[in-house]
Amino acid sequence: MPSPWLRIRDEFPILHQEVNGHPLVYLDNAATTQKPRAVMAALDRFYERDNANVHRGLHALSMRATDAYEGARSRVATFVNAEAPEEIVFTRGTTESINLVASSWGGANLRKGDVILLTEMEHHSNLVPWQLVAQRTGATLRYLPVTGDDGLLDLSQLDRVLTPEVRVFAFTHVSNTLGTINPVADLCARARRVGAVTVIDAAQSIGHMPVDVRAIGCDFLAFSGHKMASVTGIGALYGRKALLDAMPPWQGGGGMISNVDFFESRWKPTPERFEAGTPNFGDAVALGAACDFLDTLGREEIRRHDGALARLAYERLSALPGIRVLGPKGERGGLVSFAFESLHAHDVVTFADEDGIALRGGHHCNQPLMRRLGLTSTARASFYVYNEEREVDALVASLRRTLKFFGLQG
Amino acid sequence: MPSPWLRIRDEFPILHQEVNGHPLVYLDNAATTQKPRAVMAALDRFYERDNANVHRGLHALSMRATDAYEGARSRVATFVNAEAPEEIVFTRGTTESINLVASSWGGANLRKGDVILLTEMEHHSNLVPWQLVAQRTGATLRYLPVTGDDGLLDLSQLDRVLTPEVRVFAFTHVSNTLGTINPVADLCARARRVGAVTVIDAAQSIGHMPVDVRAIGCDFLAFSGHKMASVTGIGALYGRKALLDAMPPWQGGGGMISNVDFFESRWKPTPERFEAGTPNFGDAVALGAACDFLDTLGREEIRRHDGALARLAYERLSALPGIRVLGPKGERGGLVSFAFESLHAHDVVTFADEDGIALRGGHHCNQPLMRRLGLTSTARASFYVYNEEREVDALVASLRRTLKFFGLQG
Amino acid sequence: MSAELSDLYQQVILDHNRRPRNRGRLPTANRSAHGDNPSCGDQCDVFLRLEGDRIAEISFEGSGCAISQASASLMTTQLKGKTSAEAQKLFKEFHEIVTTGKEPEVISDLAAFAGVHAFPARIKCATLSWHAALNALRGDTVAATTESHKD
Amino acid sequence: MSAELSDLYQQVILDHNRRPRNRGRLPTANRSAHGDNPSCGDQCDVFLRLEGDRIAEISFEGSGCAISQASASLMTTQLKGKTSAEAQKLFKEFHEIVTTGKEPEVISDLAAFAGVHAFPARIKCATLSWHAALNALRGDTVAATTESHKD
Ligand SMILES: Cc1ncc(COP(=O)(O)O)c(C=O)c1O
Ligand SMILES: Cc1ncc(COP(=O)(O)O)c(C=O)c1O
């Protein structure tokens, strides 16, 4: 059988277009990835054959739809190596997953005197929900620092900040600005020693490398489908069953209740308790198909592929004049951020777009980290399974032209 | 131009299949509707050409995706005749929309002594969120009664329950069990006189009849895309701008902040304030396409079509032995619920499925109403644009066979 | 009628549904338990007179579909005279039958429920009364519910 | 380079970006305001010395893309000597130029920003300093922000 990598770009129709007269070079994968034919076909097929509301339905289509939805749950459970499908709650994505944990677990377990430990490299989605629950409960926030431009967590500070008052330690697996891959299993082990619950933001790792919740030893793990070759609108929260079972509901409505009276109600067990209303079963099917797609490519292979492109980009970019390239020099996730001394990220991105190259420029929902690094914004190139070395070449050539246009050849 | 109604079943590929050896008769539209080709094509086209994360993006695809997403918001705004696109917040559906209002508006505005007025015919999704916020704030719940099997709101009781302590009055536009169409504009006018905010659950009306928030005069209106020919995972909350602007955020994360510091944050204006994380822009595009599809058919025509089938079904079913048919005899939404004295809804639904007919059986997320009517469950047939009179015939013939099998010919 | 459907609504089941055995409150009961299946509204009360560890008498009351009513009725005929341990074992067998469709080793009326496995959504209907009975045996006061994620 | 891009980065803009006019704090300022565009991190402070209702002196400080820096610089040259009402009117004109690409009625350097309209995401960059200046004129202490739903 030929390697699924061989004609991989054929799987992504969107790549075969010109932007501003140049072949599209899509390097904004950390924001969202493109979708393979297989995922869109699964979605279309579901709606063409099996669509009906799930659960409680006794007719053929409803039973098929329920099987498809619960099948997707099982598929996602094996994808992250959960112990049981019930440990997977479907959500809109990483942000909703973290809000669910912060509101439900946090609301029920945090109080004045408790500490929520985060890191300085957290995305707003793993930061603002904790600020909101801190305000509500009286718990306080504390941060594990980042070392600087090489963008590692300052582990020498861990003992100082990870004290027994820490009830929850939430951190990202891979930084969406620095590209740093954090030692998540170690961090979870350390947190366990002080009895803190661990929440991992896997938005930037889930589609790019093996993610095994049991090997990592985390309590919760949040991710988005749209960053792993699936569509927008679907993601998941993994939670250890014992913890989920003890949590109060978050949203109320159909599907999550076991009994409703006019004045009070009883809840279903997990995961239904946390899935009020008609779930997004259509997109859940697409998420299951994305798991299949990624496993066919092999997640170790994806890690190697994306990481190699990012390291190549890191090297080649570092040779440009007046540039500051962020994050670790060696092993890194599939992205690289950079800033020029005399050229703003927005101008960089606009000129790259002129050459058909899609970059992201801004604070990447990392405002506190940016300030910490003395920056207001960076440009970011992020890679996925369909990117190629020649696209790194195209990026570097385009940046050189832009520098020249602004008289900054160095 | 030929009427778009002429070959309407061709637009729905799923209908052209056999179930248990019979042509599918899909009568479970109140649970979820099927999707026309035009909607799926819009979704596929978006992902094949324009997909990129929205906002903050300066490259071509991101700008196109942002235009598509904000275009969908404008389209939904005109669909319900909102004053401005900012009055539309995208959510997963009706349930999430109501949770948003109950948590954010309710959390900020309700206190002990305040009354939340609901009706006895509310779906769990317009009931449990209010129970949760009542528990949190100390407000109390009160119910406007339903008259009985003809399933009207008992308006003679309105003055008694709609007192000045009522801060919010939440009610459904069309009952998903009774088929009743409530006089929503009148109810809103009455609520305004005591200064109560109005929340309308439009899940069962939005796809079936014109819904004009300004003609109705409501403050909030919630609905789901999947019940109006669009896909699962997307819906909306309409809210009057002055109210939305004054509400605190609900979920926290990327996209809804204007500034984030390590210890506090500032929020964006509405609607972004309420759309934390990557929004479901793909499915929003599908929702916009569904609005176009329904307006091409004409919403007055849809109301007539669905209502006529439901009234026909009401009549024909009423002739069956040992049956109790619920809801108003005259004008009604496109659905009809019924219960047999000596035959449980589950058996009815299982036998109908044997004839390829998809019905729903159960409490329809209306447990309190069911108890009020002395029932535990009903079977329900619900109609949409592609249903035909011959399908009502098929239903009645199938029910007769079932009654015969159980020896209940009467 | 398809083979699946006639397997589901077997003669035994239709018969128990039409003429339920041991239906009604048991005045001499020293144990009882309530069960519900909230997502379909099925309800079931099981009443036991335990003598030592043995079920001397048993009855049920409830409402629900033909499957749930027949299952409750048949169950009472099967559990009468059994010990707690024997009841547990029977339920295990019954659960196996309704979830897999496998015929039981010893010939038994329980086999009539093998057709249920082709209708996964109906498994709850068939097991509700059993859950209530086992709760009653254990002396649990919490209502049995079929609302676990599976079954 | 495409016509759109060379329209956006016109000579006037590149020139103001390279050699900004009136940059730095104004020691004699009696009014100032801060503006930010949080979604891209652009910042801008505008300093005014008002004499009566007239802008006697004006300067800016800030960081951001070429468009935002050039816009701030050009703005200072345009607003100097103007009254509040005249400044409002100029901003209205400028806003029209950057959102529609329409050339202004009277010939003016502001026309250099007509290319912005083809890049809707950059409109905020061009208008940030203007928002700050108008806030300073009004004496508003709240930071100007470009984060309304539109523009
Ligand atoms: C009247 C009514 N309200 C609310 C809902 C909930 O809608 P959703 O499940 O799409 O959130 C439904 C449908 O299930 C409904 O019929
Ligand atoms: C590290 C990280 N966390 C969280 C998120 C939020 O994900 P989503 O917007 O899909 O909820 C992102 C992506 O934007 C991210 O990169």
Among A residues 247-286, those touching chain B with beta carbons less than 8 Å apart: 249, 251-257, 259-265, 276-283
The ipTM, to two decimals, is 0.94
- Segment A122-160, tens digit of pLDDT: 999 999 999 999 999 999 999 999 998 789 999 999 999
Answer whether B258 touches D (CB < 8 Å).
yes
Q: Among partner residues A253, A279, A350, which is closest to B58 by beta-carbon distance?
A: A350
Q: How confident is the model at residue C149 (pLDDT cuts 50, 70, 90)?
A: very low
% of chain A surpassing 70 pLDDT: 100
Which residue would you say has higher pLDDT here, B409 or D101?
D101
pLDDT at D145: 63
Model pLDDT, residue D141:
56
Cα separation of B29 and B383, whole Å? 6
| Residue A278 and residue A160 in one domain | yes
Domain CATH number, residue B327: 3.90.1150.10
Q: Is residue A1 part of a domain?
A: no
C-alpha span between B139 and A123 (Å, rounded):
36
Q: Domain extents for chain C?
A: 3-139
pLDDT exceeds 70 at position B200? yes
Q: Is B115 domain-assigned? A: yes
Is residue B216 domain-shared with residue B280, that is, in the same domain? yes
pLDDT tens digits for range C24-81: 999 999 999 998 887 677 889 999 999 999 999 999 999 899 999 999 999 999 999 9
Tell me whether residues C40 and B354 touch, CB distance under 8 A.
no
pTM of the predicted protein model: 0.95
Query: What sign results for the dihedral spanned by CA atoms D136, D140, D145, D147?
Result: negative
* CB neighbour list of residue C105: distance below 8 Å, 6 or more residues apart: none
| Amino acid symbol at A149 | D
Q: For residue C88, what pLDDT is reported?
A: 94
SS3 B321: coil
Same domain? For A53 and A129 the reply is yes
- What the block records as the tokens of A395 is 């990026």
SS3 string, chain C, reads CCHHHHHHCCHHHHHHHHCCCCECCCCCCCEEEEEEECCCCEEEEEEEEEECCEEEEEEEEEECCHHHHHHHHHHHHHHCCCEHHHHHHHHHHHHHHHHHCCCCCCCCHHHHHHHHHHCHHHHHHHHHHHHHHHHHHHCCCCCEECCCCCC
First to last CA, chain D: 26
- d(Cα A375, Cα A363) in Å, to the nearest integer? 9
DSSP bridge partners of A361:
A379
Neighbouring CB atoms inside 10 A of A47's CB total: 20
Which ligand has the shortest distance to the CA of B277? Answer: 2
Q: Is A355 exposed, middle or buried (0-12, 13-18, 19+ CB in 10 A)?
A: buried
For the ranges B13-27, B332-346, C114-128, D67-81, which has the lowest average pLDDT?
A: C114-128
Share of chain C above pLDDT 90, in %: 67
The strands making up A235-239's β-sheet, listed across from edge to edge, are A88-91, A235-239, A220-224, A197-201, A166-172, A115-119, A140-144
Cα–Cα distance, A316 to D44 (Å, whole number): 33
A406 shares contact with chain D (CB less than 8 Å): yes
Instruction: Tell me which of A254, A270, A295 is where a domain ends.
Output: A295
- pLDDT range class, residue A348, cuts 50, 70, 90: very high
Mutate to test the interface with B, among C4, C5, C18 (most CBs of B within 10 A): C5
In a domain, A248, yes or no: yes
What value does the mean pLDDT take over residues B185-198? Answer: 98
CB pairs under 8 A between B and C: 53
Residue D123 has pLDDT above 60, yes or no: yes
State the Cα–Cα distance between residues D141 and B367, nearest whole angstrom: 54
Same domain, A256 and A325: no
Tokens of C140: 């649990």
- Check residue A326 and report its DSSP letter: -
Evaluate whether residue B47 is within a structural domain.
Answer: yes
Q: What's the distance, CA A37 to chain centroid?
A: 22
Q: What is the pLDDT of residues D10-68, one digit of tens each?
A: 999 999 999 999 999 999 999 999 988 876 778 899 999 999 999 999 999 998 999 99
The per-residue pLDDT for D151 is: 41
Structure tokens at A43: 């979605």
Check residues A56 and D118 and name the one with the higher pLDDT.
D118
pLDDT tens, C70-108? 999 999 999 999 999 999 999 999 999 999 998 877 778
Residue D149 reports pLDDT greater than 50? no
- For residue A217, is it within any domain? yes
Q: Give CA–CA dist D60/A376, Å, rounded.
A: 18
C-alpha B199 to ligand 1 mean position (Å): 14
Residue B271: cis peptide before it, omega within 30 degrees of 0: yes
Beta-carbon contacts below 8 Å between A and C? 29
Return mean pLDDT, chain D: 88
Report the percentage of chain B scoring pLDDT > 70.
100
Rg for chain B (alpha carbons), in Å?
22
Pairing of strands B257-260, B235-239: unpaired
Same domain, A277 and A310: no
Mean pLDDT of A3-30: 97
Identify all chain B residues contacting C69, using CB atoms and an 8 Å cutoff.
344
pLDDT at A263: 86
Q: From the CB of residue B71, how many other CB atoms can be counted at a distance below 10 Å?
A: 14
* Contact (CB, 8 A) for B220 and B239: yes
CA distance B229 to chain A (A): 11
Are B225 and B357 in a shared domain?
Answer: no
Contact of B179 with B327, CB cutoff 8 Å = yes
- Residue D147, pLDDT > 90, answer no
Query: A50 and A157 share a domain?
Result: yes
Q: How confident is the model at residue B266 (pLDDT cuts 50, 70, 90)?
A: confident
Ligand 1 site residues, Cβ closer than 6 angstroms: A 254, 277-278; B 30, 93-95, 123, 125-126, 172, 176, 201, 203-204, 224, 365
Tell whether ligand 2 has an atom less than 6 A from the beta carbon of residue A366: no
Judged by CB atoms closer than 8 Å, whether chains meet at A21 and D42 is answered as no
Q: Which residues pair with A239 in a beta bridge?
A: A220
Do residues A291 and A318 both lie within one domain? no
> How would you classify residue A339: left for phi > 0, otherwise alpha for psi between -120 and 50, otherwise beta?
beta
Q: Give the model confidence (pLDDT) of B217-235 as tens digits.
A: 999 999 999 999 999 999 9
Say what the pLDDT of residue D150 is: 41
Residue-wise pLDDT tens digits, B110-141: 999 999 999 999 999 999 999 999 999 999 99
Structure tokens at B152: 């009207």
Residues A132 and A230 in one domain: yes
pLDDT tens, position by position, C5-14:
888 999 999 9
Q: Report the CATH fold assignment for D3-139.
A: Sufe protein. Chain: A (3.90.1010)
Average pLDDT of chain B, as a whole number: 96
Based on the structure, what is the number of domains in chain B? 2
Catalytic annotation present for A291: no
pLDDT at C140: 67
Of A277, A295, A313, the one marking the end of a domain is: A295
Q: Which residue has the higher pLDDT, B192 or D121?
A: B192
Task: Identify the band that residue B399 occupies on the pLDDT scale cut at 50, 70 and 90.
Answer: very high
Dig out the tokens for B221 from the structure: 């209106």
**Is the CB of A198 inside a 6 Å radius of any atom of ligand 2?**
no
Of the pLDDT bands very low, low, confident and very high (cuts 50, 70, 90), residue C142 is low
- The ligand minimizing its distance to the Cα of B28 is 1
Q: Cβ–Cβ of D40/A346 closer than 8 Å?
A: yes
**How far is Cα B280 from Cα B76, in angstroms, rounded to an integer?**
14
| Domain final residue, candidates A295, A313, A339 | A295
The domain containing residue B134 runs over which residues? 40-295
Rounded Cα distance, B84 and B77, in Å: 7
In the prediction, which pLDDT does D144 show? 64
C5 with B350: Cβ contact below 8 A: yes
Give pLDDT tens digits for A221-238: 999 999 999 999 999 999
Query: pLDDT tens, B168-191?
Result: 999 999 999 999 999 999 999 999
| Residue A3 domain-assigned (yes or no) | no
Angle B60-79/B281-297 helices, nearest 10 degrees? Answer: 40
- The residues of B that are catalytic are 365
* pLDDT 10s digits, B320-360: 999 999 999 989 999 999 999 999 999 999 999 999 999 99
Helix axes A345-354, D66-79, angle to 10 degrees: 120
B210 and B336 belong to one structural domain: no
**Residue B209 predicted with pLDDT over 70:** yes
pLDDT at D101 over 50: yes
Q: How far apart are CA B334 and CA B383, in angstroms?
A: 5
Q: What is the pLDDT of residue D100?
A: 94
CATH number at residue B163: 3.40.640.10
Domain membership of residue B35 (yes or no) is no
* pLDDT at position A145: 97
pLDDT band at C151 (very low <50, low <70, confident <90, very high): very low
At residue C143 the predicted structure's pLDDT band, cuts being 50, 70 and 90, is low
A44 and A16 within one domain: no
Do B303 and B291 share a structural domain? no
**How many residues are present in chain D?**
151
Whether residue A410 lies inside any domain: the answer is: no
